[in-house]
Amino acid sequence: MLHFDCDYMEGAHPEILQRLVNTNLEQTPGYGCDPHTEQARELIRRACEAPNAEVYFLVGGTQTNATVIDGILRRHEGVLAAESGHINVHEAGAIEAAGHKVLTLPQHLGKVSAADVEHYIDAFYRDETWPHMVAPGMLYISHPTEFGTLYGRDELEALHDVCQRHAIPLYLDGARLSYALASEENTLSLADIARLCDVFYIGGTKTGTLFGEAVVTTRPELLPHFFTLVKQHGALLAKGRLLGVQFETLFTDGLYLRIARRAITTAMKLKRAMLAKGYRTYIDSPTNQQFFVLPNREIDRLSQFATFELWGPRGEEESVVRFVTSWATEERHIDELIEKL
Amino acid sequence: MLHFDCDYMEGAHPEILQRLVNTNLEQTPGYGCDPHTEQARELIRRACEAPNAEVYFLVGGTQTNATVIDGILRRHEGVLAAESGHINVHEAGAIEAAGHKVLTLPQHLGKVSAADVEHYIDAFYRDETWPHMVAPGMLYISHPTEFGTLYGRDELEALHDVCQRHAIPLYLDGARLSYALASEENTLSLADIARLCDVFYIGGTKTGTLFGEAVVTTRPELLPHFFTLVKQHGALLAKGRLLGVQFETLFTDGLYLRIARRAITTAMKLKRAMLAKGYRTYIDSPTNQQFFVLPNREIDRLSQFATFELWGPRGEEESVVRFVTSWATEERHIDELIEKL
Amino acid sequence: MLHFDCDYMEGAHPEILQRLVNTNLEQTPGYGCDPHTEQARELIRRACEAPNAEVYFLVGGTQTNATVIDGILRRHEGVLAAESGHINVHEAGAIEAAGHKVLTLPQHLGKVSAADVEHYIDAFYRDETWPHMVAPGMLYISHPTEFGTLYGRDELEALHDVCQRHAIPLYLDGARLSYALASEENTLSLADIARLCDVFYIGGTKTGTLFGEAVVTTRPELLPHFFTLVKQHGALLAKGRLLGVQFETLFTDGLYLRIARRAITTAMKLKRAMLAKGYRTYIDSPTNQQFFVLPNREIDRLSQFATFELWGPRGEEESVVRFVTSWATEERHIDELIEKL
Amino acid sequence: MLHFDCDYMEGAHPEILQRLVNTNLEQTPGYGCDPHTEQARELIRRACEAPNAEVYFLVGGTQTNATVIDGILRRHEGVLAAESGHINVHEAGAIEAAGHKVLTLPQHLGKVSAADVEHYIDAFYRDETWPHMVAPGMLYISHPTEFGTLYGRDELEALHDVCQRHAIPLYLDGARLSYALASEENTLSLADIARLCDVFYIGGTKTGTLFGEAVVTTRPELLPHFFTLVKQHGALLAKGRLLGVQFETLFTDGLYLRIARRAITTAMKLKRAMLAKGYRTYIDSPTNQQFFVLPNREIDRLSQFATFELWGPRGEEESVVRFVTSWATEERHIDELIEKL
């Protein structure tokens, strides 16, 4: 059976696991106050060309979003996000559980447009009743989006500008950031992202670590007393050095990008094969999530050999499916799948 | 100057104020444990033909919505509401501040349709990832809606049915309930509402009291330990008998309906006059909020004599305006306004 | 029957009620944006000799505490308070419901000592694990306390100093502030309190208004976007001018102090009579709450003529009782009670 | 340098790490829906002799406490705990951040007594104002306690009984449960704990796993929709099978107890040596945390060879210190330390 359900079906990339094995019996203080974590912070700062950035490590994505957003917002503020944004749909109300409203914007292939942000904020403050409403206090975007699509450099600059103009922080959820960086269509480096976003996170869970997300900010004053907030959110790992060791490895010798590339290569090969077979994409994604419209009988046939996700409800004759590749996908897996098409 | 901005510009209806004066030096225990409050509860039970209903008195609308919704929902649940619903727009995030997500449904003239509720719940549980999402735990509607429109009896029965089928409580925000009851197009009595809704509130603030909302439920098990929750929400009035005295008066000799009728008569007179002048309604409201599309020059001219609300942004040539009548609006006020048209 | 249960058993002081009657049909905008509220703010500023203070009006005490504390604290901070403080005991968890921990200090006759505050903060930051704990972010005191006792000027100055030194705001709950100001032992004027506290509130509910508390701050930057926060806490009164009218009256011609004095006179008369009868006080209170230790048979006998509170559990032979006087207590009530002793 | 700061200074026990290596490239669905997690659940059920228990895996202790307590309590309830309890002191306000008050009880060597629980609940409901206060909704205890002490079987049975009598769930924080089970003074088996507690957790982080805590309940109705709540609290691990694999190993061939025993042996050896040297214990702990009173000059001298914690402020001449052993402590470490005494 071939598996394309998601990009977190395996453990860690072997180099990362090996490093955990090698350092296993070292004795270090907890909570991220250890040399590995310090080194990981430094390596990430360099990769981001942001020597003054602060870096914090948390365990998972929902946790990271909830903690960062709770850290940035004041009680009267909410977070702007695409209606399809992960925080609005798939985080079990974690943002609201911390007291904050998600203020939704239209999604365009999963993306938020600067024009919509501008319009929202303008309309908000032109409405005389605005003090009775939740103020837009920050902007959340995901990159790649939940549909695998990417912001172009001009788009991110426009979002940066509109956020600056209205003095609201821009926060980027990079759960799958490696797959953006490795995409052929990518126009944004880590340094660009560090420059254009106030806070963002570099996802580890979906790119080779057992778990872990690295929050990076060039404006640490936005997250005052963040250590305590991380603890309060239950997001402080006792053996914090596990996060340090993993990210240290990811950001040594370009491992992060290197292992993401393979996921892109295999995803593109699959897309080309699908198109060659006469099928069409549902959304044209340049990253490791691929969405196709397939006849139901083809879906049923393929299900004998491979696992993948039905995207939304099953249609009358054809349906949308999602295939996800990852750092662990090998070329032969895709070749086998293509053979079965 | 004539005032049609909203329905809470005056103090209390004179009969109610007189009753407060008459009872002012009585000594009673606090927090609603007094004979006036007990009598008010009984009068409301009778008006609702619900002898076993529980009745609680709170001070204001946002407070009531936040407390009731917090009382009904468990932590993993959210509240379904029209995207135009007061709790979603104009309550400063009070629902989210208590940890709950507002799950939005399309609005149809401010109303929620049973079909949309059905569709939402069906789609929710057909999505295999539903345990990662906020479960629809109750339905919120307002009657009249924020646009002055009314649910018909069949519509409320359909909502009741869909809620029953999915075992989620139906909660009705009756901030302006008197103006529904007094409308010529009304098809729902208080008894119908008590029968079809699990919890609802009868608004006092907008119909003649200084303040106060009466929560009525035929299923008190939905609001366990509600006294403590009311206190926790800061919604417990020390001199609770003030609420009792006011509602006691409202529900004696049909005062509640009687004073609402005047608001309807004047609102309808205004609508007829506007239509006769050749203007059109923005939304055809049968209650005390009236929305018209007027040429900007007419708006400017009228603003010399009367106050009213611009509804949304000013248009190029014409704009939408809202006129609100109330129990305190006298026929001569409307006549004067019509004269100026 | 004579009533000494609490100081909110009646409606409003007749002058205040008359003013509500006189202004009842005035039409004003809602939410405190009216001339009466503006005038009340100005009168309070003058009474506090704090021309730049901001004044906000809320409805009740628990609500006010929860909203102010939520406004001041950041998420990683808690509020220091005496273990006997109202927020720690009798507010149904309202502070915690907004996400904040109450950090308790020992109580000395209901009061907090500057030395204990100093010790708490010192010990906190000397503990290396402090980032894992809730930081002391403000100090809450009540004046008079829950036991009727008063802070002396030197005590409040010491609290002010320790708070300044550690940069934590000092907040004073003045639910019964009038009875402090009117006490013979009082050494603190309103101007002193405005100078020494960062935020405090002047209680109306227990001194002649139907309801209402006036929050005063000389540091409005501590309560950013407070209007929205008040709304979010369900504490925004639609007909806000009712608060304005009542406080306008309270702060005209010294009504506030004048009506409090009567409560003190009667309380002191009762104390003297009790002592003369050979009974002892439980706590020597100079304000309108009086605590006595009485033989159970005397308690039972008095209960035939008067209502008052048993304070804590009934003892074997004698028990503690609380008698409360108010602006509405007349000398003849006390004389009648004394006659029965 | 020898390290006795805490019991989470290393990675995982080698057998556990090896198992993670062996299973690393298996492909499994996420979120705990995999065969390893299912098998771990079954092994824990067997170890607890509780065939119908539900078992959930979370990542860390604070997170687990916050999620379980939030799951059990309704909004008007708080959690009873010793004033020294971890949730009251060292969890950065995580319980309050979810809206719940910690109701403190006196601690007796870190333990709560059934008599104190009884007294609290009795006094609570005998106070007529109880609806204005936070109701005791559950009891939290830690075993071993924060001072390394243990509940005896009779003590836990008494707590069970008082909780049953008042219908409040009993929850046991077993962050260091293995070190209780392995102690010579232990009188409580896992089966006893499963029988006497409504919910408890078996700590992995401090006994050989990289991270992870296993929540066990024989009354799953106390934690409805717990999967969603875990997600909402940011406590759902994407690669959930990592928890499964680790606990599967811990509960195979008695590894959990086996590796805990070594910590006890070394801790007892250290205690005997200290007593032989003429030093005294601060608290007589039968588990892996040992507290001694040492002369300051001895503390300073030892600090050259070993790390350990100063417990509270440094005294004039002598101070309290804590030494912690763990599954990773070898006999030769202790021997070296003893040599230095």
* ipTM for this model: 0.97
Question: Do residues C228 and C317 both lie within one domain?
Answer: no
Question: Do residues B303 and B237 both lie within one domain?
Answer: no
pLDDT digit string, tens, across residues D228-268: 999 999 999 999 999 999 999 999 999 999 999 999 999 99
pLDDT score of B117? 98
B338 touches chain D (CB under 8 A): no
**Averaged over C104-121, what is the pLDDT?**
98
Q: For chain A, state the CA radius of gyration.
A: 20
pLDDT score of B161? 98
Q: Which residues of C touch D123 (CB under 8 A)?
A: 313
C135 touches chain A (CB under 8 A): yes
pLDDT score of C98? 97
**Averaged over B4-13, what is the pLDDT?**
96
**C74 contacts A132? CB cut-off 8 A:** no
D75 touches chain B (CB under 8 A): yes
C126 touches chain A (CB under 8 A): no
pLDDT score of B313? 79
pLDDT score of D46? 98
pLDDT score of D159? 98
pLDDT of C128 higher than 90: no
- Find tokens 């907008």 and name the residue: B206
Token pair in block for residue C261: 């004095």
Question: Do residues C155 and C290 both lie within one domain?
Answer: no
Per cent of chain C over pLDDT 90 is: 97
**B100 contacts A101? CB cut-off 8 A:** no
Q: Which one of A17, A19, A90, A232 would you mutate to disrupt binding with D, by most D Cβ within 10 Å of its Cβ?
A: A232
Question: Do residues D206 and D314 both lie within one domain?
Answer: no
Rounded CA separation D289/D267 (Å): 7
**Averaged over C60-78, what is the pLDDT?**
98
pLDDT of D275 higher than 90: yes
**D237 contacts A59? CB cut-off 8 A:** yes
Please confirm whether the linkage preceding C144 is cis (ω < 30° from 0). yes
Chains touching chain C, criterion 3+ CB pairs below 8 Å: A, B, D
Average pLDDT, chain C: 97
Question: Do residues C145 and C262 both lie within one domain?
Answer: no
Rounded CA separation B317/A277 (Å): 55
**B71 contacts D75? CB cut-off 8 A:** yes
pLDDT digit string, tens, across residues C249-258: 999 999 999 9
Phi then psi for C87, rounded to 5 degrees?
-65, -25
Q: Which one of B75, B231, B236, B237 would you mutate to disrupt binding with D, by most D Cβ within 10 Å of its Cβ?
A: B75
**Averaged over B2-9, what is the pLDDT?**
96
Rounded CA separation C61/B209 (Å): 22
Number of Cβ within 10 Å of residue C44's Cβ equals 24
Q: Which of A76, A98, A229 sits opposite C229 (nearest CB)?
A: A76
D positions 233-252 inside 8 Å of A (CB) = 233-239, 242
pLDDT digit string, tens, across residues D103-156: 999 999 999 999 999 999 999 998 889 999 999 999 999 999 999 999 999 999
Question: Do residues B157 and B69 both lie within one domain?
Answer: yes
Token pair in block for residue D235: 């406590």
Q: At what angle do helices A153-165 and A114-126 cross, to 10 degrees?
A: 20
Q: Which one of B18, B23, B24 would you mutate to disrupt binding with C, by most C Cβ within 10 Å of its Cβ?
A: B24
Residue B227, min C-alpha distance to chain A (Å): 23
pLDDT digit string, tens, across residues B46-92: 999 999 999 999 999 999 999 999 999 999 999 999 999 999 999 99
Q: Which residues neighbour D331 within 8 Å (Cβ) at sequence distance 6 or greater?
A: D262, D265, D266, D269
Q: Structurally, how many domains does chain D consist of?
A: 2
pLDDT score of B133? 97
Its domain, for residue A333, covers 2-7+256-340
Please confirm whether the linkage preceding A295 is cis (ω < 30° from 0). no
Question: Do residues C136 and C47 both lie within one domain?
Answer: yes
3-state secondary structure at position C233? coil
Question: Do residues D78 and D106 both lie within one domain?
Answer: yes
Handedness of CA A54, A58, A60, A62 (dihedral sign): negative
pLDDT of D320 higher than 90: yes
Token pair in block for residue C202: 């002047």
Q: Which one of B239, B241, B308, B330 would you mutate to disrupt binding with C, by most C Cβ within 10 Å of its Cβ?
A: B239
Residue A67, min C-alpha distance to chain B (Å): 15
pLDDT digit string, tens, across residues A199-211: 999 999 999 999 9
**C17 contacts B10? CB cut-off 8 A:** no
Average pLDDT, chain A: 97
CB contact at 8 A, C57 and C244: yes
Rounded CA separation C72/C79 (Å): 10
H/E segment holding residue C333: helix C331-340
Q: Which of B11, B29, B91 sits opposite C24 (nearest CB)?
A: B11
Number of Cβ within 10 Å of residue D272's Cβ equals 11
3-state secondary structure at position A271? helix
pLDDT score of B315? 87
CATH number (domain holding residue C273): 3.90.1150.10
H/E segment holding residue B16: helix B14-22
Rounded CA separation B152/B188 (Å): 7
CB contact at 8 A, A290 and A270: yes
pLDDT score of C92? 98
Q: Which residues of A touch C227 (CB under 8 A)?
A: 131
**B20 contacts C9? CB cut-off 8 A:** no
CATH number (domain holding residue B124): 3.40.640.10
**B99 contacts A78? CB cut-off 8 A:** no
Q: Mark which of D194, D224, D255 sits at the end of a domain.
A: D255
For residues A302-332, one letter each, b for 16 or more C-beta atoms within 10 angstroms of the residue's C-beta and e for the rest, the string is beeebbbbbbeeeeeebbbbbbbbbbbbeee
**Averaged over D218-222, what is the pLDDT?**
98
The residue in chain B having the minimum alpha-carbon distance to the alpha carbon of residue A94 is B99
**C225 contacts A135? CB cut-off 8 A:** yes
Question: Do residues A38 and A173 both lie within one domain?
Answer: yes
pLDDT score of B189? 98
**B232 contacts C92? CB cut-off 8 A:** yes
pLDDT score of C298? 96
Phi then psi for A103, rounded to 5 degrees?
-100, 115
Q: Which of C10, C60, C63 sits opposite B24 (nearest CB)?
A: C10
D positions 34-73 inside 8 Å of A (CB) = 59-64, 66-67
Q: Which residues of A touch D23 (CB under 8 A)?
A: 11
Average pLDDT, chain D: 97
Q: Which residues of C touch B242 (CB under 8 A)?
A: 11, 210-211
Q: Which of D132, D133, D229 sits opposite B75 (nearest CB)?
A: D229
Residue A71, min C-alpha distance to chain C (Å): 8
Q: Which residues of A touch C70 (CB under 8 A)?
A: 75
Q: Which residues of D touch B229 (CB under 8 A)?
A: 75-76
A85 touches chain B (CB under 8 A): no
Number of Cβ within 10 Å of residue C22's Cβ equals 12
Question: Do residues A192 and A262 both lie within one domain?
Answer: no
pLDDT digit string, tens, across residues D75-111: 999 999 999 999 999 999 999 999 999 999 999 999 9
C313 touches chain D (CB under 8 A): yes
Confidence category of residue A22, pLDDT binned at 50, 70, 90: very high
pLDDT score of C314? 85
pLDDT of C265 higher than 90: yes
Give C5-20 as a DSSP string: S-S-SS---HHHHHHH
Residue C136, min C-alpha distance to chain D (Å): 11
Q: Mark which of C255, C275, C296 sits at the end of a domain.
A: C255
Chains touching chain A, criterion 3+ CB pairs below 8 Å: B, C, D
CB contact at 8 A, B226 and B56: yes
Rounded CA separation D43/C253 (Å): 78
- Find tokens 């198109």 and name the residue: A275
Rounded CA separation A284/A270 (Å): 12
Q: Mark which of D225, D255, D285 sits at the end of a domain.
A: D255
Give the pairing of strands B318-324 and B289-295: antiparallel
Q: Which residues of C touch B64 (CB under 8 A)?
A: 234
Give the pairing of strands D135-142 and D170-174: parallel
The residue in chain A having the minimum alpha-carbon distance to the alpha carbon of residue D210 is A239
D33 touches chain C (CB under 8 A): no
Chains touching chain B, criterion 3+ CB pairs below 8 Å: A, C, D
Please confirm whether the linkage preceding C131 is cis (ω < 30° from 0). no
Nearest to C321 by CA among C9, C4, C2, C1: C4
Q: Which residues of C touch B62 (CB under 8 A)?
A: 231, 234, 236
Q: Which residues of D touch A92 (CB under 8 A)?
A: 228-229, 231-232
C2 touches chain B (CB under 8 A): no
**B21 contacts C9? CB cut-off 8 A:** no
pLDDT score of C19? 98
The whole-angstrom distance between residue C249's C-alpha and the CA centroid of its chain comes to: 19
pLDDT of A315 higher than 90: no
Q: For chain D, state the CA radius of gyration.
A: 20
Confidence category of residue A128, pLDDT binned at 50, 70, 90: confident
Nearest to A265 by CA among A196, A171, A338, A331: A331
Rounded CA separation A159/A141 (Å): 10
Question: Do residues C241 and C266 both lie within one domain?
Answer: no
Confidence category of residue C109, pLDDT binned at 50, 70, 90: very high
Question: Do residues C211 and C235 both lie within one domain?
Answer: yes
**A99 contacts C131? CB cut-off 8 A:** no
D positions 316-335 inside 8 Å of C (CB) = none
pLDDT score of A291? 98
**C93 contacts D100? CB cut-off 8 A:** yes
3-state secondary structure at position D200? strand
Rounded CA separation D331/D341 (Å): 16
pLDDT digit string, tens, across residues C287-336: 999 999 999 999 999 999 999 999 887 889 999 999 999 999 999 999 99
Using the 8-state DSSP alphabet, how is residue D290 labeled? E
Residue A94, min C-alpha distance to chain B (Å): 9
